[in-house]
Structure 1
Amino acid sequence: MKKAIVNGTILAWDGSRHQAIEAGTVVFEDDLITFVGSLYEGEPVDEIIDATGRLVIPGFVNSHLHVTDTLFTKGYLEETQAPAETKVAPNYHTLYTVLPAVRKASDLDAQLAAAHCVFADLARTGSTTVVELGYDFEIGGDGDIAITERVAEAAGASGLRCYSGPRYRSSYYWGDGQGATYYGDYGAKGQARFEACADFCVNWNGRYDDRLRTLLAPGQIDTCSPEMLRETRRLADEHGLPIQIHGGQSIHEYDRIRETMNMTTVEYMMDTGLLGPDFIIGHGQIMSGDGNHASMARHEIEALRDSLTTVCHLPWVKARRGGVINSIEKYKELGIRQCLGTDTYPFDMFNDMRMASTVCKIVESSATAGRAEDVFYMATVGGADALGRADLGRLKAGCKADIVIVRTDTPKAAPVYDPFKFLVHAANGEDVDMVLVDGKTVVEKGNVKTIDVAAAVKEVNAAGKRVWARLGF
C-alpha cells in the first residue's frame, strides 16, 4: 500500500544533513520511503495522512538502553549515597552496590513485565530503533538465555525495530562497602554464557521481518578477558554483527584496566581488536584519567577516529548522579563518531537530546557548544551509522519508513522558526502524535496500538513490589 504524509514540515535528509521542507510530502510504499520533497507528481496514493501543524521527522535510534531492570531501580539510583563514613568516588555506590543488588532481586516474570512497559514507553516517545542490552548472572536462572528470547519476542510483538544484545563477561564486580571494588571470576560459567549469547545472536538475527537484529554485547570493558574480547571480534567479523560494550563508566574501571593490563581503556580496546565501524562504546564518559576527552593520548584519539568507532552518550543518567560528559563538543572536534541513548528512565530521547546539549554548554561554558542540529544528528543518523544502517535515521527515498510525527500546534511549540531547537530544547515525548515503523502504525494520536499499556503498567507495579521486598536496604 502506498501512503503519503502531506502538509507537514519535513526534516529531509540531503545526504549530509537534515533540511526542513515546509508543507512537504513523504511518500512510502509498504516498508520503504519512495519520495521526500515539496511537490509529489508520482502515481496516486492509497491513503493520505494530513500532518498540518506537525513536524515529520525520522524515528530516533535509541542506541543504548536496558528494558528488564530499569523500572525497579527508580528511586534507588537517584539521590542515594554510600554511608557517610565511606569515602567513595561519584557513581561508586550506585554502580557497584545498589545496581547489582536490584538486578539480583528481580525475577524472570518481573523482567518481562518491565520489558512490555518499557517498549510501550519507547514507542510513544518516538524511538523506532532501540538497542536493548540484557543482563547475565546477576539475574535470570544463572545466565539462562531464555529470558533474552522472551524479551526479544516482546520486542518483536511491539512493532519496534530492536537490536537485542544479551550480555556476557568473564568476571563480575561488586562494591566492598569501603569504597573499593572486588572482582570475581565466572570461570566455566562465563564461557558457557558467552557461547549461549553467541548462538542467540546468530540464530535470532533477522527475525520479525528483519525488525529484530542482534549484536554482540560483552558486558563491561573491565569484566571481560582479552581472550573473550578477541573472540567477540572474530564472531562479529564472521557473522556481520555489530558490537557494543560498556566502557568509560567510572574512574574505578579506568584504574582497574591500568592496574591489570598496564593499558588505558582505549589501548585495551585497540589491543583486543574491538575498534571498528561496527563497534559502539556505551557511556564513554571516563576515557582518560581526568575525564577530559581532550586529555586522551594522540594515538588513542587517532585510533577511535580512524577506525570509525562510535561513542554512545547517555547524558541524563550521568547528570542526575552528578556526572558530566566532557564533552560531546570535544568528541566532535576530534572527529570521533557519536550517538545517543537513554540507558534508563525516562526512555524519552527528547530528554536526552536536551541534556546532551545543555550539559555540553555548561561544561564548555559556551552557548554555541552542543548545537541542537548536531545533537539531533546524533539521535538519528549517528545511531543509524553506528549500526551500519544507512537506511535508518533519515527521511530519504530508499530508507525505511520509520517516521515520527510531532505536534507543533500547541502553545509550547508556536511559533516554530527552527525545528531543531524546538525538538531539542522544548519538545518531549508527549508531543509525539504518530509513529510508524516499516510503514506500519505503532502509535496513533499518542496511543500505542501494539501493546496493552494499562495491563503492562498494572503488571509492572505488582512486580515492583515483589522485587523491592527482596532488597536488603
Structure 2
Amino acid sequence: MSGFADLPLGQQPKGRWSLKGRWIVADTEAGRHLLTDGEIVIEGGRILEIGKAGEVSAEASFNLGDVLIAPGFVDLDALSDLDTTLLGFDYHPGARKGRVWPRSYVERGPYEMYSPEELEFQKRYAFAQLLCNGITTAAPIASLFYREWGETVTEFEAAAVAAKELGLRVWLGPAYRSGGMVVEEDGTLSADFDEARGYEGLADAISFAERWQGDDLVRPMLAPDRVETCTKHLLRRTMQAADSLDCPVRLHMAQGQMEVDTVQRLHGMTAPAWLNEIGCLNARLLAPHATNATDDDLVLYRDAGVTVVHCPLVAGRHGGALQSFAKLRDMGVRLAMGTDTAPPDMVLNMVIGMAACRIVENDIASCSAANFFDAATTAGADALGRDDIGRLRVGGKADIAVFDMADQAMAPAIDPIQTLILGATGRVTRATIVDGRLSMRDGQVAGFDMAKARARAQRQFDDLVAKYPDRTWGHPPISEIFPPSYPYLTGGNHV
C-alpha cells in the first residue's frame, strides 16, 4: 500500500493500479452517486472498476486518505494567457484604459506585444495552472487586445505540444476575426472590418484542425473571436467547416453592453437573433457568457441546442451575472462552465455562480452544489460530444481530480461536494490525472518548474503593461491608465 508520494509524476503506472479514498464520485447507469471508502482501478488511460476498498483487484494500490476522488473539471473557456482582464477590475471604462485600440494606434500599425517565445511560454504556464486547479479538459481562451490581429498556427502547434507534454486534454484552435472595435479621436467607438484577413485566419484554423484530427489528447475547435468582430460570411464559412471537421465552435456573445450596442447598430438585432437569422445557431456552438441575453435569445439558444458557457467570476468582476443559472436550467438551456480569468479556479467559479444565482432569484433553493458540479463536469463533456470524460465510470477515461478533504480550511466538513464548493478554492487539489497519467501532484506539474515560471510570468506581464500607452486612447502615461489603489509614499512623506 502506497500514498501520494509514491505516485509517479508525469507517468502512467504500469499494469492495473488503484486509488483509494474517503469519497469517490461514481457515475453509474442509474446516475451519479457518492461512494464512501472506495477504490477506483485504472489501466492505461481507462477506468476498469469502481467499488468499495478491498473489493476490487489491482497490482498496485495508492491510499490517498481523506480525499474526494472526482472527475476532472471540463473548462470550456479556459484561461490560456496572462490575464489582462485583471487590469479592468478597478480601471474603467475599458475603451479609455487600453481595452480597445485607439484610431492612432490602428493607423500606425498594430504589432505583436509578445515574442513567439513569450506566447509559447504563457500557454504552457496557463495549462499548468489549469492542472493545479483540477481541470483535466480545457478549451483555451486568450485575449486578442495585445495581438497584431489574431492568433497564429505556430503558437497553437506549440500549445498542442505543451498540452501533450504536461498532460492536459484540450480542444484547440487559433482565434480569428474579421474586424475589431476602435476608439475614434473624439472618444466614440466604431467597428473596422477586413474581410480578407478574417478568411485568412479561418483558413489557418482549418489547416490546424485537419492536422490534429484523431489525436487523443488534442482535438480541434474553431474559435472566431467575438460576435461583434465577425461578419456573416465568416461565421457561415466557420459553421460549414465545423460540419466537415465535426468539431465544436466557440463564439463569445451576449456578454457586454458594448457588444449589444454594436451588434444592434450593425445588424438591427441581438447577437443570438442575428446568428439564428444567418443560420449559424446550432448544437456545435459554445457560447460564453449570455449575461446580456434576452428571454427571446435564451429561447433561441434552447431550441438550437447551444451550450451557454457560464463564467461567473469574470462576469461578477465586471458587474454582470447570468439571469440566471436556475432560469436557464429550468428552460432546458444547456449549461456548462468556464474560468476565463485568473485565477483559473473552477471551484471559485462554482461558489460565485451559486451565490449570484441565489441573489438574482432571491431564493436559496434555486440551485445546489450538485447542479454546479454537474455543469463543471458532465455538461461540459456533453457539449463536446463525449460521454467518457467529465464523469468517473467503468470504461471511461481516467481523467481524475483529487481534492484534500482534510485541509485545515475545510472545517467543519459536511457532504464532500458542498464542502469543496463552500471552501471556495481549487487550491485543495492534491492531484490531477489525465488519461491515466499523473499530471499534477501537490502543486507540481511534470516537467515544469512552477516557481521559476511564476517569476517569468510576472516579468512578462510587467513588460506588456509598460506598452499600454501605445494602444490607449490619448496615449496617457501608465500612472494615469493604472493609478494605484492608494497614492505611493514618497521620500518626502513620513508616517
> By the TM > 0.5 criterion, same fold?
yes
1:458 partner SS = helix
Report the equivalent of 1:222: 228
Displacement after TM superposition at 1:66 (Å) = 3.4
Kindly indicate whether the alpha-carbon contact (under 8 Å) linking 1:69 and 1:111 is maintained by their aligned counterparts in 2: no
Quick check: 1:409 aligned with 2:406? yes
* 2-structure distance, mates of 1:134, 1:166: 10
Displacement after TM superposition at 1:388 (Å) = 0.9
Kindly indicate whether the alpha-carbon contact (under 8 Å) linking 1:76 and 1:98 is maintained by their aligned counterparts in 2: no
Kindly indicate whether the alpha-carbon contact (under 8 Å) linking 1:159 and 1:450 is maintained by their aligned counterparts in 2: no
User: What pairs up with 1:30-429 in 2 under 5 angstroms?
Assistant: 30-38=44-52, 41=55, 44-70=57-83, 73=84, 75-82=86-93, 96-97=99-100, 105-134=113-142, 138-139=146-147, 144-176=152-184, 180-207=188-215, 210-288=216-294, 296-297=295-296, 300-429=297-426
* 1-structure distance, mates of 2:318, 2:141: 21
Say which of 454, 458, 463 aligns to 1:466.
463
Kindly indicate whether the alpha-carbon contact (under 8 Å) linking 1:137 and 1:143 is maintained by their aligned counterparts in 2: no
* 1-structure distance, mates of 2:163, 2:460: 19
Cα-to-partner distance string for 1:334-373 (whole Å, 9 max, x where unaligned): 1101011110100111111111111111111111223111
* 2-structure distance, mates of 1:379, 1:188: 37
* 2-structure distance, mates of 1:406, 1:144: 36
1:191 partner SS = helix
* 1-structure distance, mates of 2:119, 2:446: 22
Kindly indicate whether the alpha-carbon contact (under 8 Å) linking 2:323 and 2:357 is maintained by their aligned counterparts in 1: yes
* 2-structure distance, mates of 1:438, 1:143: 28
Read off the aligned partner of 2:73 and give its amino acid letter.
F
Moved more, 192-201 or 134-143: 134-143
Kindly indicate whether the alpha-carbon contact (under 8 Å) linking 1:26 and 1:33 is maintained by their aligned counterparts in 2: yes
* 1-structure distance, mates of 2:19, 2:211: 36
* 2-structure distance, mates of 1:169, 1:430: 35
* 1-structure distance, mates of 2:28, 2:49: 12
Displacement after TM superposition at 1:148 (Å) = 2.1
Displacement after TM superposition at 1:430 (Å) = 1.9
* 2-structure distance, mates of 1:159, 1:99: 40
Report the equivalent of 1:88: none
Displacement after TM superposition at 1:108 (Å) = 2.8
Report the equivalent of 2:487: none
Say which of 24, 27, 39 aligns to 1:10.
24
Q: Could you say if the C-alpha distance between residues 465 and 367 of structure 1 is closer, same or farther in structure 2, counting changes exceeding 3 Å? A: same
Q: Which runs of 5+ in 1 are unaligned?
A: 83-90, 289-295
Displacement after TM superposition at 1:2 (Å) = 1.1
Cα-to-partner distance string for 1:419-472 (whole Å, 9 max, x where unaligned): 221121215222111111000011123322242212322322232232222221
Read off the aligned partner of 1:422 and give its amino acid letter.
T
Larger radius of gyration: 2
* 2-structure distance, mates of 1:390, 1:99: 46
Task: Kindly report the root-mean-square deviation, in angstroms, between the aligned alpha carbons of the 2 structures.
Answer: 2.5
Report the equivalent of 1:86: none
* 1-structure distance, mates of 2:135, 2:301: 27
* 1-structure distance, mates of 2:114, 2:151: 13
Moved more, 136-145 or 19-28: 136-145
Q: Could you say if the C-alpha distance between residues 437 and 365 of structure 1 is closer, same or farther in structure 2, counting changes exceeding 3 Å? A: same
* 1-structure distance, mates of 2:235, 2:86: 34
2:229 partner SS = coil
Displacement after TM superposition at 1:303 (Å) = 3.2
Q: Could you say if the C-alpha distance between residues 370 and 58 of structure 1 is closer, same or farther in structure 2, counting changes exceeding 3 Å? A: same
* 2-structure distance, mates of 1:3, 1:226: 52
2:376 partner SS = helix
Kindly indicate whether the alpha-carbon contact (under 8 Å) linking 2:195 and 2:231 is maintained by their aligned counterparts in 1: no
Number of positions where the alignment pairs a residue of Structure 1 with one of Structure 2: 451
Q: Could you say if the C-alpha distance between residues 354 and 125 of structure 1 is closer, same or farther in structure 2, counting changes exceeding 3 Å? A: same
2:363 partner SS = coil
Q: Could you say if the C-alpha distance between residues 141 and 221 of structure 1 is closer, same or farther in structure 2, counting changes exceeding 3 Å? A: closer
Report the equivalent of 2:41: 27
Moved more, 1-10 or 346-355: 1-10
Aligned sequence identity (%): 27
Read off the aligned partner of 1:50 and give its amino acid letter.
N
1:79 partner SS = coil
Kindly indicate whether the alpha-carbon contact (under 8 Å) linking 1:285 and 1:325 is maintained by their aligned counterparts in 2: yes
* 1-structure distance, mates of 2:143, 2:86: 20
